[in-house]
Amino acid sequence: MIGRVNVVFCFVTDMPRAVSFYRSLMETEPAFESSHWTEFLAGGLRVALHLSSSESTAKSGPTGWVPCFECDDLRLLRERVEAAGVRFEREFHDTPSGAILAFADPDGNPLQAIQLGVQAKDLA
């Protein structure tokens, strides 16, 4: 059901400052860079920065790093997560790569799963 880690990301409040910091820390240029999402490659793993909106930061506060796992059946995973009684951070939503489900573990740590190549409407 859950496959490899697709990406690990953290929310940032100042993208240029964060990119500068991670560029220096990792001693590499971004593999992809935009005003709201920037990716670096570290040993084949996508390490990304996601610009946080004031609304999402006010809602959840700083979250640290979020692993996003690949999943071949996001609908079934949602059922399993719901049965475990943990909270959903966000229902199915679209990204350029596929549909994502954001949820938390029993301790409240944020997690995400992505089903590549599908849209949220396909999972409703």
Q: Please state the domain count of the chain.
A: 1
User: What is the distance between the alpha carbons of residues 18 and 38, in angstroms, rounded to a whole number?
Assistant: 9
pLDDT of residue 58: 45
Which burial class, exposed, middle or buried, applies to 99 when counting CB atoms under 10 A from its CB (0-12, 13-18, 19+)? buried
pLDDT profile of the chain (124 residues), mean per 10:
88 90 90 96 92 62 80 93 86 95 83 95 92
The domain in which residue 8 lies consists of 2-123
Query: What's the CATH number where 13 sits?
Result: 3.10.180.10
Say what the pLDDT of residue 85 is. 86
Bridge partner list, 94: 99
